[in-house]
Amino acid sequence: MEIRKYIIKRIFKPSVAKRAKAMRRAKNARSKAAREAKNKETAALQARLGYEFKDLSILNEALTHPGSVGISKKVKSNQRLEFLGDAILQSIITDTVFKKFDEYDEGLLTKIRIALTQGCFLSAMSKDLTIPQYLLLPKGSEHLREMPSAAEDAFEAVVGAIYLDSDFETARKTVLSWYKRNLDDLPDLVEQQNPKGALQEAAAKRSEKVEYVLLSQSGPDHQKVFEVEVSVGGVSLARAAASSKKSAESKAARAALREYLKKTSAALETEKDSDCSSGAEENISAPPKKTGAKKTVAKLEIKPSAAHSK
């Protein structure tokens, strides 16, 4: 009955039809403007990623936070793509470090892979690529853009989306282009992953002992602050405070490692200069070699650089 009334109204009242037509035009214009704005934003992100999607719906899915599901029946979250992207990323990094560092054993290769795929590293990469800026979030949830977990999940989802939109080789090249600079900083990444282990390893090379001392703990039970001091070879190198003893030790170890490496590098330079000076004096006072004496060739031992020894 209501439909019949509406039809009669439309037939006998042209003004109603005009108003409805104008409303449709306005709605279409708004939708078109929104699509153009979205496409412009997406183009900027694709340029940043270094990959142009053939199917933009896959990219949009990768950028959809799980909290947005339920807003529309057509909306899919990025969780499935995150699952896929995690597996693809692990394969890419495993293949790369295996081929790049053929002198490393499986233990060190595993450390490198973990360093390059751990959550905080991926969230930093995601922010560098501006991925969180384009996340589709529910209203009133803008704070989620700043959450490392959301950035990490979106990063893995985008990797999965690129793989689905192209193939493994294209995904590999694209992902490695993001990693290019960081692959040259692997030792630092491994140290950041386990600073206490890295400090222990560096000290062991000079037969020095690492010691952690709890200096103080303060504050109420629910908000304790622990202050720790770390020393190597009996020399205090750093102090740090954190909400747990373990975290304080890690922070102190990271700071101490930097100081210790500076100290050992300076010591090595001094030893080298000393060796060169004594060698020069010996050469000046040494008697001339007999002609026809058997020539000896010193064997040059090429040790891995500090970057590869960790």
3-state helix, strand, coil in the chain (%, to 5): 70, 10, 25
Active site includes 201? no
Active site includes 86? yes
Measuring CA to CA, how many Å separate 277 from each of 274, 283, 285, 299? 5, 10, 13, 21
Long-range contacts of the stretch 193-196 (C-beta < 8 A, 24+): 193/111, 193/114, 193/115, 193/118, 194/111, 195/250, 195/253, 195/254, 195/257, 196/249, 196/250, 196/253
Catalytic, out of 82, 86, 153, 191: 86
Other CB atoms within a 10 A radius of the CB of residue 2 amount to 6
The answer to whether the beta carbons of residues 256 and 230 sit under 8 Å apart is yes
Phi/psi at 210 (nearest 5 deg)?
A: -100, 130
Our measurement of the distance from residue 243's CA atom to the centroid of its chain's CA atoms, rounded to an integer in Å, reads 24
The answer to whether the beta carbons of residues 77 and 160 sit under 8 Å apart is no
Q: Give the single-character DSSP code of 64.
A: B
Residue 289, SS3 per DSSP? coil
Catalytic, out of 61, 82, 152, 156: 156
The catalytic residues are 86, 156
